[in-house]
């Protein structure tokens, strides 16, 4: 396990069959929050696509990152389109449960 090693943040996007998946790597914290917002901005407004964030390789998220996810949830909710997360590592799921953001993701998995 190499969890102590700092890994550079990366976001790569793949669009297939009307679903846009953003794969996150490394640590999503205050120092890369602006980069993350920049990647997400054009995708959030696209109501033609379902938006998914894959967190399999995400090592760490702070309250800034959770805040961005929350603003995306709000924007997508307002447009009545989907935004979900997948492959959430246990230590990140714990933070989602603790803060309460988890229920907003869960409520969408049951819709449609």
Partner 1 sequence: MSDDIQKVIIQLPASAEYVDIVRLNLYGIASKMGFSYEDIEDMKVAVSEACNNSVLYAYEQEDGLVDVIFEVGADALSITVKDEGESFDKVKASGERMTLHDKELSDVQVGGLGFYLMQALMDEVNVISESGKGTVVTLTKKLHLSEERV
Binding site for partner 1 (CB under 8 A): 1, 3-4, 6, 27, 29-31, 33, 60, 62-64, 66-68, 70-71, 73-74, 77, 91, 95, 98-101, 103-104
Residues 88 and 63: beta-carbon distance below 8 Å:
no
- What's the closest the beta carbon of residue 25 comes to partner 1, in angstroms? 14
Question: Minimum distance between the CB of residue 31 and partner 1, rounded to whole angstroms?
Answer: 4
Measured over the CA atoms of residue 74, residue 43, residue 62 and residue 64, the dihedral's sign is: negative
Q: How far apart are CA 19 and CA 34, in angstroms?
A: 24
Identity of the residue, 1 or 16, whose beta carbon is nearer to partner 1 in the bound complex? 1
Closest listed residue to residue 101, CA positions, set 84, 82, 79? 84
Between 22 and 69, whose beta carbon lies closer to partner 1?
Answer: 69
């Amino acid at each position: 396990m190499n969890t102590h090693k700092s890994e550079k943040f990366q976001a790569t996007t793949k669009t297939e069959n009307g679903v846009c998946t953003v794969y996150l790597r490394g640590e999503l914290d205050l120092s890369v929050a602006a980069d993350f917002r920049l990647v997400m901005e054009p995708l959030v407004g696209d109501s033609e696509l379902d938006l998914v964030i894959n967190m399999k390789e995400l090592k760490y998220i702070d309250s800034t990152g959770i805040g961005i996810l929350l603003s995306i949830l709000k924007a997508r909710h307002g447009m009545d389109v989907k935004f979900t997360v997948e492959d959430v590592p246990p230590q990140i799921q714990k933070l989602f449960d603790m803060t309460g953001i988890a229920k907003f993701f869960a409520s969408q998995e049951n819709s449609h």
